[in-house]
Structure 1
Amino acid sequence: MSTSCLSLSSSGPCGHFGICVNSTLCVCDPGWSHGNEWSFFVKPDQVEASLCNINTSIVLAQNLFIFIFSASAFLSIVASVMNMKQLKRSVVLLVGLSFYIFMSMYRIISPKDALFGRNILVTFLFSNSFLMYSLESIRVFNKYLTYLSKSFILASSRVRFQATALLWLGNCRYIFDTVFLQLIWVSAVVYSVLENVSGARLVIRISLAYSAFIYVNSALLLVVSQQVIKDMKEFASAGFVKTHSKPGSDISNMVAKEKTESETSQRQTSATWKLNNVEGFQRRYYSSRSMFNGVRKRALIK
């Protein structure tokens, strides 16, 4: 079934960068193309009649930026790893960065084939790179909340409940993120292999709805974490701090320094108190001795 060229009131048929041919086909200007990625919401016979709204140079620049940034981050992390323990902590982040590197390389080499929502490999790399970043963020945030909960044992019940709830929610997100973010590349399978456009739309909508939940959840985590940190700082300023750091770390060194300074101050206070007592005793002694000598002299004179 033929269709007319898509038009907008502000741009006309095919947009500002295309020409409508035979009222059914949009021929794009050099450097511009149709939006063929995630084309689940456009009927197959209407793709070539849609707007010319994709600038291929901008897309290439974006992919180059992703490649350079991801490769630089990957190499800097690898260069900073000193032992196997650090390597294990960085595995998730390194895997995510490697997905970004391969995805951007593929899109640079084959821009017409490496389309999101159509090419299964590119969509798989994209969804799982996002997943690795999300899992690493949850791990770091949960570790920080665990440190706060153990370090500040006198926190208010409200803040401790919030910290516990956030830890539970973070653990649940490990499972939900792993499941729902896989739907991104599953939608490409449904569209390209099964050729089920309505099924692909349903799958990607579920994934997008969960992605919206992730962003709302991240905003909630940010607000509540600021409250937790503020409350913890109040207890820290009052001295109610319990540390669980290893000897030789920055935190343990800082606490040891504060403890040494506190002990030194106590010794100085104790020494000052003793000195004042000695001086007071000496003054009372010499005063009493002077009075005794005076009385004895008057007795001898009489």
Structure 2
Amino acid sequence: MLEYALCNELLAQEGLALDRQAAVARELGYAGLELAPATLGPAPHQLSDRDVARIRRIVEGEGIRITGLHWLLSNVPDASITDPGRAAETKAILLGLIDLCAGLGGRVLVHGSPAQRLRPEGLGDTELLERLAGFFAPLAERAGELGVTYCIEPLAEADTIRTVAEGAALVEAVDHPAFRTMIDCSAAGQVEPPVADLIRHWVPTGMIGHIHANDTNRGAPGMGHDPFHDIVPALTTTGWPHPIGVEPFRTLIDATVTAATGIATLRACERTPT
């Protein structure tokens, strides 16, 4: 049976405290919460060890765990991984978030943040890949030291790393086992469907560090028409071993109903004959 983690931002946006977010996730059958750092405060990368331990106790006290972090730079609009003038400050934030993920007991960090990775004008593909590899190399090193995995997320709305193949090329350039790419079903469904074929091709390569389950309409699984009856069996047959993050960006009635719809759909698809 696959494991699922609920991305917490929709619950947080509705004003639910972290203990209630964890309780909702547990009651619905999720194994954990995947946290957006901005939901933890204005400077999550600077949280004290005491605060990190408290956050972890709150979630684990509800009987689930923190599986990782995503939306890493959503609260830092001026950050950039491609602008040399802003890269050092951005790197310091991300190093802090790697420490945070490890302290919370998480396994994975998902680097999306398309607005903070814009391609500089006139920069060619080779030069861009070299710049990105140089930026992520020390992050991969820190992640490896702390036993977490750092993933670059291919995104439809980005102009840098839009496909899984482009993410894999960056993984090869960084050349560190703690740096991987991932498959976001919504983004991949927009850019390079069918997603089930991507899973069957890429998961066995070891390049994929995480999976996000969401519909191309930006809802949870079951809120649109994406073929999760094909996607879920692909994950099962390839032996996917880690929690899958359910990451909707819009609600059906409210965040709790949305989360319930997502996991119910995925569980039903696990029972679909292959």
Question: 1 or 2, which has the higher helix percentage?
Answer: 1
Higher Rg: 1
Bin for the TM-score computed over the shorter chain? under 0.3
Q: Could you state the TM-score of these two structures normalised by the residue count of structure 1?
A: 0.21
| Structure with a larger share of its residues in strand | 2
Q: Report which structure shows greater RCO (CA 8 Å, sep ≥6).
A: 2
